[in-house]
Structure 1
């Protein structure tokens, strides 16, 4: 399952970040480099974030309760949103504050341990590269033909986009730190170290903002992907019994990464008995579940009389093609519910 792949990437990132954080703190203690301190705190924040993702994944698997009848699938989104807050405050703002102080009071990196930050940064780049490669490998089956930007914007599973963004930010941040520390060693001017720290802080604030925007959209509630919407519509309409002529309107919302709420009004033909209508609705529901085997569908289907798309379109004065699938059921109702981020 998708969540299992995300778990592998999280564990790889957690292992790498714990080791990197320890070595960065040692480098800071022997050199006093602000870039090393910012990077050490960044790695600590990332380690905490990966623990939050693991906790969110575990809590999301709790059984539904009367108070939460649709379960706890969105806990994964909640914890991913908290990750963005931690990354912004503990990582980004701390680095910017440290850069401000070091710029006002620059200190050169001196002493016989001057080479330690460079060695630590090179090792850290290797470990972060391993974590990033693991995240890419676990993401590829889900990404399909989407670009990486599209995958991060449209993915319903929060773990892999979070790890991808964190690891990419960590790699770029390490390059900033390497440049800042290297120029400080060459020139003896501690402000290069402060500039590297500021660049790390700005990068983390930006990544935290992207994460917060994406997780907020998932928390509010997103529709199923267009391909899933089409698959559900086809399954509901194309029954061998021919009792359902078309989908009048369809509403979907993710209750969790692998769980989708489906509410649809279906146009049924002139069936004589209520039992026949119920049987047609049950058959349509089974077809929809079979069309999306990897997704748990929570379905509420309502039969109605087919009054035709043209008659419906007159209610909100909007032109609709004769073969339109999504038609307003009430005056002023939005026709297209396939919107996604």
Structure 2
């Protein structure tokens, strides 16, 4: 369900950005506004980014192979990281270059003066519609988490990327509107350049945030605290398993979780009984956390060691 929502948000954003990019380019050709050019390239970059997200989602669905036994789920993170690179270079750095060029040699908007205002107004409406879809789909999965926490903790890259891109697009349009508007009012093209610079700095900042979050996912993040608690409770509550000695989890993809646990069993139990207990524990974990697709449970005997005050503390061999 979450994957379907992510795809819907990406497709809606892609359609909106393609239409907006064409309109902005037309306005740039008519007026020569650097802010309109920066916004045009921004929309093109966003469209390419959404294409990358769709491609990453498609490639991540491939079955595991002998060379990649844990599957290709992390390809979604790789393509989302590429989005950050594109946004930084094609969007942010290009806008900053255009800003420097326009501020160094400012000139007013003399022809088709009010076309940029109309185009930016239409673009704001379309981006707001795309943003509304992204918010709606995100609300379906973020639960009680705040927006900052959702973007930082989400294991699915598409929705945070689209949210940040859409928010950046709306703010960028506002900056462009202010810069173009002041240029039209005063006749000073420097304001157009300053609006373009604000767009560039905004895109660079968003790209850095995305890169940091996607890097964390690529390195490998553990399950959420809620999932960890549910997994531990499911294992520890299994008959013939005394306790969870320690456990490690890692996301192989947004909807694929690796669980490795060492559990304490009674030394008097035979192999058949221990095996049945492990099978039961795995089944309980999958019921509690369906995305736990790979589960490895190692049995061990609980021992005790003496502390300095003579207290017995349970322990186990690593």
TM-score (normalizing by structure 2): 0.96
| SS of alignment partner, residue 244 of structure 1 | coil
1:262 corresponds to? 259
Quickly say closer, same or farther: Cα 1:269–1:328, change in 2 above 3 A. Answer: closer
Tell me, yes or no, if the aligned pair for 1:249 and 1:329 is still in contact at 8 Å.
Answer: no
Distance in 2 between residues matched to 1:329 and 1:226, nearest whole Å: 26
Could you tell me which residue of structure 1 aligns to residue 11 of structure 2? Answer: 11
Contact 1:249 1:328 in 2 (8 A): no
Matched, 1:157 2:156: yes
Q: How many Å separate the matches in 2 of 1:196 and 1:175? A: 9
The equivalent residue for 1:335 is: none
Pairwise CA distance, 1:178: 0.1
Where does 1:1-341 land on structure 2 (aligned, <5 Å)?
1-111=1-111, 113-239=112-238, 241=239, 243-293=240-290, 295-308=291-304, 311=305, 330=318
CA shift at 1:297, angstroms? 2.3
Superposed CA RMSD in Å reads 1.8
Within 1, Cα distance between the matches of 2:180 and 2:157? 34
**Deviation, structure 1 residue 329:** 5.6
SS at match of 1:223: coil
Number of aligned residue pairs: 316
Contact kept in structure 2, 1:254 and 1:260, CA below 8 Å? yes
The separation in 2 between residues aligned to 1:115 and 1:183, in whole angstroms, is 12
Secondary structure, in 3 states, of the residue corresponding to 2:303?
coil
CA distance in 1, matches of 2:303, 2:181: 73
d(CA) in 2 for partners of 1:286, 1:78: 31
Contact 2:300 / 2:316 at 8 angstroms: preserved in 1?
A: no
Provide the C-alpha distance between the structure 2 equivalents of 1:187 and 1:171, rounded to a whole number of angstroms. Answer: 24
Quote the offset at 1:291 in angstroms.
0.6
Whole-Å Cα distance in 2 between the matches of residues 92 and 99 of structure 1? 11
Q: Deviations over 1:221-253 (max 9, x none)?
A: 0000000000000000112x3x11110000000
Q: Is the Cα–Cα contact under 8 Å of residues 33 and 193 in structure 1 kept in the other structure?
A: yes
Given the superposition, is the C-alpha separation of residues 134 and 214 from structure 1 closer, same or farther in structure 2, using an over 3 Å criterion?
A: same
* C-alpha distance in structure 1 between counterparts of 2:289 and 2:194, whole Å: 51
The unaligned stretches of length 5 or more in structure 2 are none
**1:249-289 CA-partner distances (Å, limit 9, x unpaired):** 00000000010111100000133311111111111111111
* Distance in structure 2 (CA, Å) of the matches to 1:277 and 1:292: 22
Mapped to 2, the partners of 1:272 and 1:108 lie a distance apart of 86
Deviations 1:25-61 (A, max 9, x none): 0000000000000000000000000000000000000
User: 8 Å contact 2:259–2:292 — kept in the other structure?
Assistant: no
Say which SS state the counterpart of residue 145 (structure 1) adopts. coil
Distance 1:328 1:73, change over 3 A: farther
